[in-house]
Structure 1
Amino acid sequence: MFKKSLLGLLCFFSISLSAQDYFLKKFHPFDSNIQSPEEFLGYGIGERHTRHDLIVAYMDYLAQNSERASYYEYGKTYEGRKLVILTITSGENLNNLDALKEKHLEYTDPSKSPSDYDGLPVFINLGYNVHGNEPSGGEAAILMAYTLAASNSPEVLNYLNNSVIFVDPTINPDGRDRHTQWANMYQGNPLVADPQDAEHNEYWPRGRTNHYWFDLNRDWYLGIHPESRGKLTWYHQWYPNVVTDFHEMGTQSTYFFEPMKANGSLDPIMPKENYEDLNNLFGDYFAKALDSIGSFYFTKEVFDGTYPGYGSSYPDLQGGLALLFEQASSRGHKQTTAFGEITFPFTIRNQYVSSIATVKAAVENKATLRKYQQDFFKSALTNASRSKIKAYTFENKFDANRTKAFLDKLLLHKIDVYKNGDKYTVPTRQPQYRMVQSVFETYEKFRDSVYYDASAWSLANFYNVDYKSTSSLNLGEKLTNLSGLTNPRMVQKTDYAYIMDYDDYNAVAALNHMQEQGLVVSSAFKPFTAKTTDGDRKFNYGALMVPVSLQKKDANEVYSIVSEAQKVYQVPVYAVNSGYSLQGIDLGSRHVQPVTRPKAAMLIGDGVRSYEAGEVWHLLDTRVHMPITKIPMRNFDRAKLDKYNTLVMVSGNYRFSEKTMDKIKSWASKGNTLITIGSATKWAIEKKLVKEKLTDAEKDTTETVQRRPYVDASENLGKESVGGAIFKVDLDVTHPLAFGYRNSSIPVYKNNTVWLAPSKNEYATVAKYAADPHIDGFITKKNLEENLKPSASLVVSKVGAGRAILFADNPNFRGSWYGTNRLFLNALFLGNKIRIPE
């Protein structure tokens, strides 16, 4: 029995080592004092999916046992998982890393002109697994870390002497572990290759996204989540010369590496040397490496780096070379395809081989890369000097917290900002000129009409910043941090009433805080001027009023709650000792109405767009600190809706029985509020839940159909979609949904083809696209003239004693549209106050 077991054990180790040589045989010998991944984990790479905590543990182990490696934590995810980087280089380089870093950064400083381009090691960031259910990259990261930390092959030793390599094994740990649990839970023995098996078909929301169901590969530019913010902070300390971005795509495909499809911008701000010369240079290395193992691949056909927020585009705007890789996914351990079976180890090997090829290409062209990075930052100043625009200026006297959030993004990207009183100035002549362009410039003309992602990203419009370009400079003091930017004078105690400005972004969070603590808070439906303890003050639509004597708490408790809300959320609050206003309505007016606390639910699950659902959840969790019940679609038929006064339905494919439709309509008719976004709005209209209509552009049925080449079909059809553009709407600032806005013209983000017709009720169209609506991004002339211009962006429709609030556009897009979040939050908190005149 013992001999049989021993024989089996030896066979197991023989198979395991042989399997690992599938990846590593080229780089023997390895340091026997350092455990290989299979020795450390207890299984061979590719035999199962590796949990993130084990990846982190192995990175830490290598740092503890290899003189070539050091371990660094740059943050934690929402779920508490560590975000780590393993730095690997020669022992000598590692001991002198601070000095090497200082010399390296001189090449990113346009005021300096070092010229020893070949004397320094090249800095390489190997980034993996930004999409959690694209796991081959994370496994390849383990193999790369081991190879670099333990291999004694001459090839690897040369790489270590001539480079500093930063291995970021799992950029999205929360999503990865969600997928890892799924794949391992359904792994069969023997493996099941049938694409219909559960292993290959994750349930909603799947593992692609982070905790709040956001796509982190779009967040480099937006900088909303801790994963991205930690990485950006690290990135701007190092400015690597090369950055990789490893992904997976459909199972029926092969492998993709750059060069990409041509940049869609008419005049790309990225240097031509990047997307042509360097991409083609590195592409030769990738082709040769993949040819050597018999892998098939393609380039140039799809994907584009136009949007600056990818891991494969943001570094391009920082003087580096960002590289995208896409591997056909096994979506599990083995799956049948049209070309046979694709296995998890096969997908890992392609990523590993491309990782090695990246290091090889970077080392052999390090002088070129370093010279390019130096020229990049110097050309930023040269390009800025040629522009007539010398600066962008903005100010916001009414919403300090929204302005602060915008400034936070500028500083996160190391953009120079100056403050002079209430006015902020961003000069164009600075090293981050190309990021300044990304933030403020808008475009109407494009080289291409089909985009992998958004065609508009002027961040200032995301935050509804009223900015202007100028040809003169009046800088003031350079802004280095955000302290003191929101510092309202603390309110004095009163026995009569407190009034809170509603213009500030954080006012809704402060309102929720006070309601949670048991205060009754009212909203002013007309403006007024009051005599406060800080002097006469004009208050806009929506100003919040806390009447002290009408509370169930004494005056001291009321003051404690109000002052705490002000302190936590940094919003302006004023004390008044009389309800008699100097102008406008008095505090006892029927136009000052108590705000009902939302009891909100949202549908999630199969058929619901997880991105949009996550945006709602994230907004309420992280900024308003208000709970929302997430009801899975599978449970909705038996859910008791009467517990809630608000139901949110984001874009999705909703298929309800007639009984369930009656349930929703009956619930809304009782005085409750249904909020629909995007395609959910289209669904509500088509199912006649509301009496609104969609814009119906007239079609000429007599028009002769023009023949077109079959090969152009996808391009011609694709351009009719609206992938992401920014438009101007005219907003009714007297409407409760628009409380907190002072300007009737605001930008909105449209990434769908939901064309909502203005309501036939003359008081129900809250936001309609302006006569000249285009601000930024691509849209066909047909869509602009026939569909968008006649349409509305936001309509309220009567449903019995209740209402449906219909958003054509997503007001919470990617957690970044601070400028339209208020429309959605008003729908939650003030929706039930809307009375639609007949």
Structure 2
Amino acid sequence: MLLLFVLNIGNAQEEYYFPEGVSFNKNIPSPSEFLGYEIGEWHTRHARLVSYMEKLAEISPNAQIQTIGYTHEKRPQIILTISSESNLANLENIRQEHLEHADPDGKEGEIGKMPVIVHLGYNVHGNEPSSSEVSMLVAYYLVAAQDPAVQNYLQKGVFHIEPTLNPDGRDRHTTWVNSNKGVPAVADPWDREHNEAWPSGRTNHYWFDLNRDWLPLTQVESQNRMAFYHKWLPNIVTDYHEMGSNSTYFFEPTKKFGSENPIVPRYNYDTLNTIFAKYHQEALDEIGSLYFTGERFDNSYPGYGSTYPDLHGALGIVYEQASSRGHIQNNGSEEITFPFSIRNHLRTSLATIRATIDNRELLLNWQRKFFRDARNNASGNVYVYGAKDKPGKTKQFTNLLLDHSIEVYRLKNDLKTDDRSFSKDFAYAVPGKQAQNLMVKSIFDKVTTFADSIFYDTSAWSMALAYDIPYTEISSRKLNMGKKITAEDLKTEIPEPVRSNYAYIIDWADFKAPAALYYLLKNEINIKAAFAPFSIETDKGLQDFGYGSLMISLHDQSSSPEEVYKLVSEASEKAGVPVHAVVSGRSAKGIDLGSPDFKDIGLPDIVMLTGEGTSGYEAGEIWFMLDTYLEMPVTKVDRYDFSRLDLSEYDILLMVSGNYDSLDSERIENWIKNGGTLITQRTASEWAIKKDISAIELKKNDKEKDSLARRDYAAKDKYEGARAVGGSFYQIDLDITHPLGFGYKKRTLPLYKNSRVFLEPGNDAFSKVAIFKSEPYLSGYIHPENLELISNSAALLAEKKGEGTLIMFSDDPNFRAMMLGTQRLFINALFFGSSIF
């Protein structure tokens, strides 16, 4: 193994990586011949991966390549499709027949003749790089191996190879390890090569974990991938990872019940997983590699690349390999090399291919049965959702459902239930009796019962709660559904604003209003926000406007009425938000437009601390939200550069979770007192309290520990894991009259909590912006001790300090950019935080 690492031997690649006895077509270049170095000798840049796949498609009649989209940094996301010549010539018909076979109402295919669809996905975490190297070896094997078994694979399967699920993160990591590689390579784990700089290559451009994004689909890479996924509905999907260097190798099954999705049929876990595990076992036994199964890794969250397929009649499989985090690393007892990691992943890839072809008919039959059972076994209930005062979020939520191939219908008539009313013009219906029933349940249902108390990631994932979308579940007998909708039906044009010679109003409750506000502010339009509600006659008739509604008075502008109208029209078009024209400042009800309760809103200068010791996930969420939803810049400053930062140049300082003990807290406190706004979340809020910047106290469990208590050591992980807050939903009571609550119409709001930061509400009656209810639980696992701490604790506090403001979130309101229900709280803090008195 080490000889391979240091020597360039012509046939070493084939001899080391592939099973004994495999010969290859000499007219097709191996990866090492194409790249100019042995696989494993260097980490291969994404562009070279793409070039090799393009070369195979160019010279082999068994390969085709396509680009399914581009990343944030404009790297291509490619798929290399490999199959027999006859299959590739008939590919579109194969795809259509496959989709029809999977459809419960479609024509059942001739199983004996149908190819199985395989999606071989690699390298979703950029700094878990060995599997992308594997993708080249697998592609080479399938197009060049001179083996009757491989020809059988190509005839009976269509193989979609996605060499890099995260091209941007991969290249970030590749550049790091290649530029820090020693010759000879250094195995010491303390060497710079093995310790990437923040934020590491794990994440994409915006520092998002793409292996958590299959459900929320906030990132462009996931959106492109999802479109391709539903275009094909594969039968097998692979999800390759790396773990700590001190481990061995993991393949499914995961921990029974405890790590499995509760609504995935048992057949998937008990039969399919068991069948494939035998192939993986044999492959690793053959080369003497150690492995483990049935523990640790989670398969419950639908947003994983290995779980999402399980909810679509496929088998998703997660693989974890001990990582060299570079080219070679000493893990204490031995040295893990990059080639060794690659070989293990290659052997399980080849085993997966063999298992898939051997069980082709079983997999094809299972997918049809899965969707048929999902529809037929579903209740006859329908989910009705939407709200007149949330058209933007309702539309975005509907697009998410359509992206997951969920059937959505219009309402034929208005609907009134015991606690809600739905207008047919602003609400939609999702029947449970459809092939995508399991995805419908995943998105709408609350999860309240669990087989285990330890979670690798989140324990709650209702997107309806995340979006704060009003919905109800009723019997289909009580509802008349209208037309089935498509994405095209949701494309609506906002009417051009009517010109006014007096003022324009934008409803702050509109989901897109903040984007319009920023556009106007950056173009030097003076804007006031309503600190009280009002009703006024507009070009659309008498309209009600709530707290935070924006008023653009022509009297206040330095620009001409023509220029103001032009900018207002541009803001309306860019943001997709209606603008109301008024001809008088007199309101029919509430404050008039000249009231002191209309307050000036300024353009904030924002700086966010990032870098080593801070949460890249949280910082990335803020960066992404500001870039994507507001097109608003944020200055990202490394924590270690804080001492050189001139804080006086900024209005707002953002601090995400992190270690800030080295920061000068007195300097920050003085800046706040002089008019700055500090916004903290999770452990940064905890830091502000411990440094006495805030007068608030942390809420703690005061129960005295039993000094005589004794527990078995083997139960330690389970005991401590059960007390973590892995991620769950709770109800908060929100003061919608507070500037941080502007734009909300109801006081009750779902909030996602995944931290053990519990804030006491404090003594100031007016700073308690959002408080967890006394019985707050909505969905997800929570230990009773933690639930007691959450109850009546503070979720959002706003303290005045001198001329400035300290705003503290107990949790992350922008979590994974999918919490659109609480995102507005954070935006309000940016625009209205300095207006708190």
TM-score, scaled relative to structure 2 = 0.96
| Kept in 1: contact 2:261–2:301 (CA 8 A) | no
| Kept in 2: contact 1:27–1:152 (CA 8 A) | no
Offset of 1:338 from its aligned partner? 2.6
Which residue identity does 1:106 align to in structure 2?
E
2:400 maps to which of 409, 414, 420: 409
Counterparts of 1:238-387 in structure 2 under 5 Å? 238-264=232-258, 268-384=262-378, 387=379
Name the residue aligned to 1:26. 20
- 2:718 pairs with 1:746: no
| Kept in 2: contact 1:400–1:486 (CA 8 A) | no
Name the residue aligned to 1:675. 679
1:761 maps to which of 759, 764, 768: 764
Separation in 2, partners of 1:261, 1:234: 30
Can you list the C-alpha shifts for 1:717-762, whole angstroms capped at 9, x where unaligned? Answer: 0110111101110000000001010010010100111101112100
Which residue identity does 2:172 align to in structure 1?
R
RMSD: 1.5
Separation in 2, partners of 1:376, 1:354: 26
TM-score, scaled relative to structure 1 = 0.96
Name the residue aligned to 1:692. 696
Can you list the C-alpha shifts for 1:408-436, whole angstroms capped at 9, x where unaligned? Answer: 11000011111232221111111100000
Separation in 1, partners of 2:692, 2:8: 66
- 2:103 pairs with 1:125: no
1:111 maps to which of 102, 105, 111: 105
Separation in 1, partners of 2:536, 2:100: 57
Which residue identity does 2:308 align to in structure 1?
Y
- 2:634 pairs with 1:628: yes
Structure 2 residues without counterparts, runs of 5 or longer = 412-424
Separation in 1, partners of 2:101, 2:318: 24
Which residue identity does 2:744 align to in structure 1?
Y
Separation in 2, partners of 1:688, 1:118: 72
Offset of 1:75 from its aligned partner? 0.7
Separation in 2, partners of 1:503, 1:82: 38
- 2:41 pairs with 1:47: yes
Instruction: Tell me which moved more, 44-53 or 798-807.
Output: 798-807
Offset of 1:34 from its aligned partner? 1.2
- The DSSP-based 3-state class of the residue aligned with 1:104 is helix
Name the residue aligned to 2:822. 820
| Kept in 2: contact 1:726–1:777 (CA 8 A) | yes
| Kept in 2: contact 1:596–1:829 (CA 8 A) | yes
- 2:536 pairs with 1:530: yes
- The DSSP-based 3-state class of the residue aligned with 1:26 is coil
1:154 maps to which of 145, 148, 166: 148
Separation in 2, partners of 1:464, 1:30: 56
- The DSSP-based 3-state class of the residue aligned with 1:538 is strand
2:578 maps to which of 572, 578, 586: 572
Name the residue aligned to 1:179. 173
| Kept in 2: contact 1:262–1:304 (CA 8 A) | no
- The DSSP-based 3-state class of the residue aligned with 2:680 is strand
- 2:600 pairs with 1:594: yes
1:390 maps to which of 378, 381, 400: 381
Which residue identity does 2:509 align to in structure 1?
D
- The DSSP-based 3-state class of the residue aligned with 2:555 is coil
Separation in 2, partners of 1:267, 1:55: 34
Can you list the C-alpha shifts for 1:812-837, whole angstroms capped at 9, x where unaligned? Answer: 000111111100000001100001xx
Name the residue aligned to 1:607. 613
- The DSSP-based 3-state class of the residue aligned with 2:480 is coil
Can you list the C-alpha shifts for 1:83-125, whole angstroms capped at 9, x where unaligned? Answer: 0010001112211222222222222110135263332121111
Separation in 1, partners of 2:345, 2:374: 34
Can you list the C-alpha shifts for 1:325-355, whole angstroms capped at 9, x where unaligned? Answer: 0000000000001331110000000000000
Which residue identity does 2:445 align to in structure 1?
E
| Kept in 2: contact 1:81–1:173 (CA 8 A) | yes
Can you list the C-alpha shifts for 1:151-179, whole angstroms capped at 9, x where unaligned? Answer: 11222222112211110000000000000
Which residue identity does 1:800 align to in structure 2?
G
Counterparts of 1:537-556 in structure 2 under 5 Å? 537-556=543-562
Can you list the C-alpha shifts for 1:604-645, whole angstroms capped at 9, x where unaligned? Answer: 001101000000000000110000000001211111111100
| Kept in 1: contact 2:8–2:37 (CA 8 A) | no
Can you list the C-alpha shifts for 1:345-372, whole angstroms capped at 9, x where unaligned? Answer: 0000000000000000000011111111
Name the residue aligned to 1:511. 517
Name the residue aligned to 2:213. 219
Which residue identity does 1:24 align to in structure 2?
F
Can you list the C-alpha shifts for 1:446-502, whole angstroms capped at 9, x where unaligned? Answer: 111101111000110111001000013321111111555554443211111101111
2:796 maps to which of 794, 797, 800: 794
Separation in 2, partners of 1:634, 1:265: 39
Can you list the C-alpha shifts for 1:214-265, whole angstroms capped at 9, x where unaligned? Answer: 0000001111111111110000010111000000000000000000112448
Separation in 2, partners of 1:528, 1:264: 52
Name the residue aligned to 1:462. 466
Instruction: Tell me which moved more, 402-411 or 797-806.
Output: 797-806
Name the residue aligned to 1:7. none
| Kept in 2: contact 1:266–1:446 (CA 8 A) | no
Structure 1 residues without counterparts, runs of 5 or longer = 1-10
Name the residue aligned to 1:784. 787
Between the aligned residues of both structures, percent identity stands at: 46
Separation in 2, partners of 1:267, 1:87: 30
Separation in 2, partners of 1:642, 1:669: 12
- The DSSP-based 3-state class of the residue aligned with 1:246 is strand
Which residue identity does 1:821 align to in structure 2?
Q
Offset of 1:26 from its aligned partner? 3.3
Separation in 1, partners of 2:261, 2:460: 14
Can you list the C-alpha shifts for 1:39-76, whole angstroms capped at 9, x where unaligned? Answer: 11110100000000000011111001000000011110
- The DSSP-based 3-state class of the residue aligned with 2:377 is helix
| Kept in 2: contact 1:265–1:446 (CA 8 A) | no
Name the residue aligned to 1:656. 662
- 2:649 pairs with 1:643: yes
Can you list the C-alpha shifts for 1:511-566, whole angstroms capped at 9, x where unaligned? Answer: 00001111011100000111112211111111100011210100000000011111
1:710 maps to which of 708, 713, 718: 713
Offset of 1:267 from its aligned partner? 8.1
- 2:737 pairs with 1:731: no
Separation in 1, partners of 2:490, 2:245: 52
Separation in 1, partners of 2:521, 2:536: 23
Which residue identity does 2:431 align to in structure 1?
P
- The DSSP-based 3-state class of the residue aligned with 1:603 is strand
| Kept in 1: contact 2:125–2:241 (CA 8 A) | yes
Name the residue aligned to 2:132. 138
Separation in 2, partners of 1:484, 1:188: 55
Separation in 1, partners of 2:64, 2:575: 40
- 2:94 pairs with 1:100: yes
Name the residue aligned to 2:164. 170
**263 and 522 in structure 1: CA distance in 2 versus 1, 3 angstrom threshold:** farther
Separation in 1, partners of 2:708, 2:565: 71
Instruction: Tell me which moved more, 611-620 or 771-780.
Output: 771-780
Offset of 1:398 from its aligned partner? 1.4
Separation in 2, partners of 1:732, 1:33: 71
Separation in 2, partners of 1:714, 1:698: 23
Separation in 1, partners of 2:662, 2:399: 43
Name the residue aligned to 1:4. none
Which residue identity does 1:737 align to in structure 2?
L
- The DSSP-based 3-state class of the residue aligned with 1:140 is helix
